[in-house]
Copies of this chain bind each other. A is one copy, B any other.
Amino acid sequence: MKIGELAKATGTQVETIRYYEREGLLPETTRTEGNYRIYGEAHAERLSFIRHCRSLDMTLEEIRVLLRFKDAPNENCGEVNALLDEHIGHVAARIRELRSLERQLKGLRDLCQEARDAAHCGILNELARQGSEGGSSAAGHVHGAHGRSVERKSIKDKRK
């Protein structure tokens, strides 16, 4: 099948497939005379595996490790367990961070119940306070903990 069919079959975008090939997650395929990539069932399965892992929020690097195990079926899979345990740890840590963040945000929101002028807005005033390290509030550790991005989307809609 051609790349568009593979894309449809796996629910992946065409560009993403080419990207995975560049990244070495999918092997380079044979081509038609017209230089079109052609794929078989094995490719579809491998791509499904990758997408499944991605839906579990694994990084491409983690997936690379798992693929190495799939490609070497006689290896001991202890490292697979370890990788998954570590990934679970990441997710759990991020949940804890976000919960602390949620508490802070709700506390902040409570400072301004109704709309008035910005100069007296409890939220803006609180955000302007020198919080830095005086208040050892969760801000410090939430911030440093690397898990960026809560969501994006309204942004890209905007340019449409």
Contacts and interface: CB of A to CB of B under 8 A. Distances in A.
A121 B88 contact: no
B95 A98 contact: yes
Nearest to A72: B118
A58 B118 CA distance: 19
Contacts of A77: 112, 115-118, 121, 123-124
A101 B131 CA distance: 33
A34 interface: no
A6 to B, nearest CB: 13
Given A11-B132, A128-B45, A56 B151 contact: no
Interface string A78-117: 1011001101101111110011011011101100100111
A151 to B, nearest CB: 5
Interface residues of A, number: 75
A30 B86 CA distance: 48
Interface string A121-160: 1011001111111000001101101111111110100000
A52 to B, nearest CB: 5
A135 to B, nearest CB: 10
A75 B95 CA distance: 36
B56 A117 contact: no
A66 B31 CA distance: 53
A66 B105 CA distance: 14
A90 B15 CA distance: 28
A127 B119 CA distance: 54
A129 B55 CA distance: 13
